Chains A and B, each alone.
Chain A
Amino acid sequence: MKQTNLAKKSVNKQTADLAVKRANVPADLQQKANDFLNSSNVNAKDLKEIVYLLENPDSNAVGVMHVLEVIFRNLLKRKIILAVENKKNKAKAKAQAKESNAKCQILYNKAWSLLLTNLSSTSKEEAGVAIKICMQLIAAEAKHSSSNAWPVERLRSILEALINSEATPTAALAEFAKYTCCLDVLQLTYELLPELAPNSFVDTPNIAFNYLAIINLLDLGKTVLNAKQYHIGPESSFDYEQTRQLLNTAWNGIIAACSGLDEKVHRQVLVVLLERILPHLENPILLTDFLMDSLHQFDGPIALLALQGIFTLMQQQNITYPDVYQKLYNMFYPRMFYNKYKARLFYLADIFLTSTHLPESLVAAFVKRLARLALKSPTEDAIIMIRFICNLLLRHTGLQRLICATGAASAIEIADPYDETEVDPVKAGALKSSLWELLLLQKHAVPDVANAARFITKSLPIVEFDLSSLLEMKECDIFDDEVKKEAKHFTMAHERPTNFGLPQFDVVTKYWDIL
């Protein structure tokens, strides 16, 4: 669906793109290009001038690139330049062509190399435009070459440039992602990747990271396959099985190089694995060791990602992992709110705790821990956790004793028997406790949280809350929602402040030397 939409959009964009191009290109440059193209015989000098403009840091790189695209496409069309593949026929070509053609050919190659350096440009626009033009030129080459063959070398050069760039070329990658949904590009990239793999992931983390980022763009999912988009003509063949094999070889290369990685790369490996590789692996059970190691050696996001991998394995490959609940339990700690993948954690926990056959003491420990965390968490997480607790209480009806003590028990005042520091959830003694945290959360200053926590005093809802909508929520959204509320009645304070402090309950001036 999305892909087709994208395709439509791209068609619509074509016209818009042209307009943008026009706007970007300075008038004198345009004039020059037109002159060059209109002259009957090719003036290599002029072309050289334009090409070398790209090298000049002062020039408008985007405009120059657009002009070059137009020029080279025209030249390719006129067969003044021949596609690279035809190198074998060089002699023949040379015989036919005049000297200027050879010059043009050289200039063309020069332009390519310049475009490739531009890929890792700091300016987002330049990098994006550069990769776009590269891909356009590839398409043009393929179209006008005699054999209609894919200019694989060009693609290889692009990939090389992307992988070897110093900083992560985010803009270029984002632009490249638009082309990776074309099946021919997808397959060819997988074909090329194993050769391009960095020798050591450990020594060159940057290159490794770029390499992984490219893999992350290559989506073999069903939506992409069904969309059947091709960059150069639909006649180029795509074979899923073959691509899958290529993917496996690429992954094997990665996993072989993968030992003693630094955290960032390791995380990226896991992300790539979970998002792109795992569904297409031939023998995913082999991953168990890798995932277990990541789970045990690291904590925080890596462990979380590993846990998700293990979860998939448990689902699909039926592996058993006895301590998974304890591991999950210990992933809930105050720092986790500041992790990137906390939404994933909630999602996973929700799935892990779906089973109604779990021991009550275990789930109770989770509930207590979530409640404790809700007291310390940012607003949006507090809401998620309160809802989650409510869902758990609904799933495990036995846990409702946490909020409905029997008459005799509720008369005695006790200190909380739940032990926060206990690692094993079953031994934490949560069942004997009660959810006082929620009582405190009812006093939360943000009304959404306070309202969410009120379920313990009212009757429990009948249907579980849908957490997925909450997982996307950010702190800003709560603010925006609050600001957007329709009914606005600004009640004013009825005491007139006479200075900086409040007439009653003054705190600021009590601690600040302001007056």
Chain B
Amino acid sequence: MGAKSKKSNADAVYSKKSVKTSNPFDAAISQTAKRLNPFDVHVNKEKFKILGRICKHDRGLPGVSRAKAHQKRVETLGKQYAVKHKTNKFMDHRIGKHLTGEQLTESVMNARFLAEKLSQVRASNKAEKFNLNDDELLTHRGQTLEEIEKYRDERSDDEELEDEGLDAEFTSTAHFGGGGDAAQDRQAAIEEMISEQKRRKNEIAKDKDEVHDLTEKLDANYKDLLSLVAQATKDEQHEKPPPDAYDKLLKEMIFEPRGSVTDKLIKPEELAKQEAARLEKLENERLRRMKADGEEQETNIQTTHRSADDLDDGYFAAGNDDDADDTLAYDLDGNLGTHLNSKKDYQTGQSDDKSAEDSENEDDGEESNSDSDSEVDNLSDLKESGSESDSEPDHTPQPKTTKIKPQKQKFSETADTSIPYTIKMPKTYEDFTELLVKYTPTQQVTVVERIIKCNHPKLEGVNRENVVKLYAFLLHYIKDMFEDASEQDIGLHFQFVSQLMPQLHDLSHLNSERMSNTLLDLIKEKYAEYRKNHKAYPTLDTLIYFKLVSNLYSTSDFRHPLATPTYIFMQHILSRARVRTRQDIAMGLFIVTIALEFSSRSKRLLPAIFNFLLGIVHMAIAKRHEQLEIVPPFERDGPFSKLLAIPATSETKTLLPQKLQTADLVTHTISLDFKVRALDTTLCLIKQIFDEQMGEHTGACYLAGPFLPLIEHLPVNLYPDHVQQHCAEAKSTLKSVAEQKMKPLAPPDKKPKALRLLEPRFEVVYDDKRRPKMSKQKEERVKLLHKIKREKKGAIREIRRDTAFVQDLKLKQQIRSDKERHEKVKRIYQEASVQQGELNELARSKKRKKF
């Protein structure tokens, strides 16, 4: 019973749930049905045609709709009426009885199933022993699992359904007594029957299993047999003619893999274009950062007339300057473009070239990076490809390439063999130095590179800490190297840092936040140290940190958390630290060059630079009687005021042009060649500053002015030719800048105030006299009230009709029952009259007898 009821339940559930798929032809309406009886159609006449109104009730079918309404009532009200006051009606008490259709979700079904099963378990604990099928049937969508599985089982066709019923013999004996052994009581009989049935079932199952095993075996053997079959047919294959070219081609076309789909190949030009776009974007961002907010509005830019009608859409903010000079003109060589523009073009062209180079390099870098991710053990190849391809193209623009390249190659050949390919990140700084000490500077760079590669954060999360630590170690290492560098090893140290730069750059990009803070902390520390005695130059490592900032960060920003403090630090050093030795002079010049790098793009000025350069020039003048004004930290007179002055008799003419030497940074005594070198550099620097950075600023004349009298005093004749030449160049630049003429300051033209534009305000005007004018809210309310009224009316009408229907039902019932009674009465009367007739007959016959 349990199984059956379950099945029926499940069926019911399923049928409810399943979407009714009916015959598509059911929906088709017969030819005759469509045609309406014109007498059935009621047309609602329209008095006026109103535009935009959708009329739904222009025609109606009163008969049809009435019938529909009636039908609906019969199905709902009628049913209810029929079971009214009845206690034996059928009630749905399942979970979610109010839900229909879509609302009956899987969870509801599951809940129903569970409840049903529980109730069954509760109810049928006693009846369990009569359940012949031990295992209960599981159903899915109303079908037992067995049934479903049956279709999947390919062997099912040759199996018949077992007769589940009891065999005839048993029934006959059990049901109809008979038999000799009637002595057995009923209880024993039933038990026997049950055990018998179970045994039979087991037997059947066993048989089935055996059959199944056998089939499996056969299936397995079939594969072996297959080769025999193939062998048999081989002879036929031999007879086949050898495949001709066509066949071969065909086969090839069938079996050869057709080229797999990949991303479209990017052409080098496109790549370059992408790279250029990326660089341009970065550059634009940099320019934005470089400007202080609102700095664009320069004073005294004579803007063209602006009318009040100009909507300030920023159209002429962009093109303003360029358009102004962009007159068509030819210069002396016949090139198109004004002088200014051509210069600009030249610069951009240059930068394009450079950016192209950069892009190449960066590509290489990326490749090597990606390689490193995939093949860690292939580092030796990597090293060669990475370092050489990285370094070579970059050296080409530098004049020194020829000297360096052979060196480099030599290094890369010798270096790699002795260094292990995977290097663990040292735990402490001591370990780190121990690790590095074993190698030559170039090898050290390789070691660092490999440490980075083995500890790339992409490989493992822990490495994120490791790289930060490595960066700190490197900075510390640099500090240790430079803090007490001697004349001999300073060059090597510089070379090491130089080769380490790319690594530092990569490292700092891995976690810029943390590493920058490390560097900032170091600079802070250095500043605190310097502050204690601001009359003395800091140690050389500080300057190297400055250079690091210059190389790694976007120093052109208006405000940069690292560059700005460094600027202040440099300014402080240059304006306060006493200049007394060769080292001091060299360090000052070093700082000046770094500061110039900082401001090379932003063209910002650091006053201390000019003062320092002035001081250097001042020092080079051998003052005898005259006293030239100079500002501290330089001294107006005394031995320190002519440190760089060369005696008239000295042999300087033979000296060759020379850059400043790294040894200058650690030596104290001032030699003749240093004097010449320092002055030469200073003159070149002066020229460069005013040419490239300051020249275009208004007011640069104030900076250039003080240089002129000092340069006038320089004993130029004592110096070699190149210095004389540089001096002349610097002088001419300074003169041109100092004679700068400026327009008096005027505030920027105030933007004319635009007329206030007003949104047109539309006022809704109705000329409807019938309806009083009301506020929007009120109108809405009235509308709603009207709707309620109508709805109420409709509801009342419906209720009225319902009652009418019910009354009708009642009446019909009354009539029917009356009729019934009437008939019954009639029958009674009839029977009675028949009876009476018979009685009368009897009486009459009695009378007749009497007579």
| B-binding residues in A (CB < 8 A) | 334-335, 337-338, 372, 375-379, 382, 402-407, 409-416, 434-437, 439-440, 442-447, 450-451, 454, 456-458, 475-476, 478-479, 482-483, 485, 488-515
Contact = CB atoms under 8 A, between A and B. Distances in A.
Contact of B744 (A405, A451, A476): A405
B601 A505 contact: yes
Interface string B429-472: 00000000000000000000000000000000000000000000
Contacts of A510: 593, 659
A513 B659 contact: yes
Contact of B703 (A338, A375, A491, A509): A375
The list of the 8 closest CB pairs from A to B, nearest first, reads: A440-B699, A405-B744, A505-B600, A490-B516, A500-B498, A413-B741, A410-B746, A436-B699
Q: Specify the main secondary structure of chain B where it touches its partner.
A: helix
Most buried by A among B508, B568, B606, B685: B568
A503 B558 contact: no
B380 interface: no
A501 B597 CA distance: 10
Contacts of B512: 490, 492
B372 interface: no
Interface string B483-507: 0000000010011011101100110
Contacts of A458: 294
Nearest to A445: B604
Contacts of A335: 631-632
Contacts of B553: 490-493
Most buried by B among A337, A372, A491, A495: A491
Contacts of B562: 490
B743 A443 contact: no
A269 to B, nearest CB: 25
Contact of B501 (A447, A489, A499): A499
Interface residues of B, number: 116
11 contacts: A403-B745, A410-B744, A412-B744, A434-B744, A436-B745, A443-B605, A447-B559, A454-B292, A479-B572, A483-B561, A509-B398
Contacts of A505: 597, 600-601
A382 B607 contact: yes
Contact of A490 (B391, B561, B700): B561
Interface of B: 279, 282, 286, 289, 292, 294-295, 297-300, 302, 351, 354, 358, 361-362, 365, 390-391, 394-395, 398, 400, 404, 491, 494-495, 497-499, 501-502, 505-506, 508-509, 512-513, 516-517, 520, 524, 527, 531, 547, 550-555, 557-562, 564-565, 567-569, 571-572, 575-576, 589-590, 593-608, 610-611, 629, 631-632, 658-662, 681, 684-685, 688, 697-703, 739-748
A475 B605 contact: no
Nearest to B594: A508
Contact of A404 (B394, B594, B745): B745
B598 A410 contact: no
B278 to A, nearest CB: 9
A330 to B, nearest CB: 14
B577 to A, nearest CB: 12
B603 A443 contact: yes
A501 B400 CA distance: 12
B702 A501 contact: no
A404 B747 CA distance: 6
A498 to B, nearest CB: 4
Contact of A379 (B289, B547, B568, B601): B568
B611 to A, nearest CB: 6
B596 A496 contact: no
A40 to B, nearest CB: 55
Contact of B662 (A436, A445, A501, A514): A514
A485 B564 CA distance: 11
A477 B292 CA distance: 22
Contacts of B606: 444-445
B745 A410 contact: yes
Contact of A414 (B404, B495, B660, B741): B741
A507 B600 contact: yes
Most buried by A among B297, B561, B597, B607: B607
A490 B508 CA distance: 10
Nearest to B392: A498
A440 B602 CA distance: 13
Nearest to A478: B568
A502 B390 contact: no
Given A443-B603, A512-B659, 20 more contacts: A372-B702, A410-B302, A436-B699, A436-B742, A437-B702, A439-B699, A440-B699, A456-B747, A476-B527, A491-B560, A492-B509, A493-B553, A493-B554, A497-B505, A499-B394, A500-B551, A504-B354, A511-B685, A512-B662, A513-B658
B358 A495 contact: yes
B841 to A, nearest CB: 129
A256 to B, nearest CB: 35
A446 B297 contact: no
A376 B568 contact: no
Contact of A479 (B297, B302, B568, B658): B568
